[in-house]
Each structure stands twice: as structure tokens, then as C-alpha cells.
Amino acid sequence: MSAAVAAAAAAANAARVSSNRNSHHHRSSQAVSHRRTPFYPPSPQPALLVPVLSRYESLKRRDWNAFEQYLKQHRPHLRLSQCSGVHVLEFLEDRFGDTKAHAQNCPLSVNRPEPPPPCPCSCPTMEAWSSLEGLVGRLRVAFEENGGQPETNPFNAPVVRLYLMEVKEAQAMGRRIAY
């Protein structure tokens, strides 16, 4: 029996004995109480506790696992040290979202002078820019936490920053916001 269980059992027994002593004094004038002291299980040992992750840490771990899965499924297989900004773009473009990115010739594009038609366009949807930027930021940190060097971090590559800027502009045009 562990020390915590033994201590809890001793405390429960002491409470029960104390309760029995007090009830002997009042037995003549009051009904006997059969209430028991509730047993509270001992708290888990510190070694068994699972650390609670913050939302950011949880998302970072999930995103890193998804990126590692992408590397494993890539043909030919990629090691982290072989990863480049182009591979990051492939990974990002596989993510689907529901934000429209209108083409230049789309009737809903900002550059068109006539009012938009009543029917929806067939332009593709993609992940929202803010979601992509958050994902890249979390993966940038996770890369270095998993042994990558800051100077070889593919999530810092200029092609990735350019891609994010283009996505932001395309989605702003789709919402008719000029940046």
C-alpha cells in the first residue's frame, strides 16, 4: 500500500473513531447517526501526471505531426534536413479551407468595374491567410525545437513569405479590400 493510501485510510479511521466517541455522549438524547465519512481516493503520484499543454503547444504538436507525416508520405521520402521552402509550399497547398481566392478574370474580382453577378463563381477555395500564417509560425518554432538549425529553417524561406503575401493579397481582393 502506498504512503498516500495509508495516510488517507488512517485519516478516515480516525474520523470514524472520533465520530463514534461523540455519538456515545448523545445517544440517549439523539438518534444514532450512521453517516460515514466519504473516502476520497489519493491524488495521483507526480510521476504519473500528464502535463497539460496550452492551446498553442497543442496546435504546434498537431501541426508538426502533420508535417512529419507529409515528409514520410512524400515520394521519394524526405528527411527533415532535406526539406526546403518548396516542400513547405507543397504542404501548405494541400490544406483546404473555405476562403475564396478569385482569379483575375472572375466576375467577382475587385478589378472588374461591373457589379458582381448573383451566382457564385467557380474560383478555388483555400485556407485563410491568417490560419496559414499561424501554421507557418508554429512550424517555424517546432522545426528548431526538433533539432533544426535556424539558418536552414525551410519555414523562413523567402518563397514561403512570398506565398503568404500572395495569399493575403488574393484573399483581400476576394473581399474587395485593398491593402
**DSSP per position, 81-133:** GG--HHHHHHHHHT---SEE---TT-TTSTT--SPPPSSPP-PPEE--HHHHH
Residue scoring higher pLDDT (72 or 170): 72
For residue 144, give the H/E element and its range.
helix 129-145
Average pLDDT, the chain: 75
Instruction: Report pLDDT for 121.
Output: 72
pLDDT digits (tens, 9 = 90+) for 116-173: 556 677 776 677 888 899 999 999 999 999 988 899 999 999 999 999 998 888 777 7
Average pLDDT over residues 88-101: 74
Q: What is the C-alpha to C-alpha distance for residues 19 and 33, in angstroms, rounded to an integer?
A: 9
3 state DSSP class of 53? coil
Residue 67 has a pLDDT of: 92
Cα distances from 175 to residues 99, 111, 168, 169, in angstroms, run 10, 12, 11, 10
What are the residue boundaries of the structural domains of the chain, listed by start? Answer: 3-48, 55-174
- CB-based contact 63:146 (threshold 8 Å): no
Residue 125: strand pairing partners: 100
pTM score over 0.75: no
What is the residue whose three cell numbers read 481516493? 41
Distance between CA atoms of residues 2 and 42, nearest Å = 10
| pLDDT score for 174 | 65
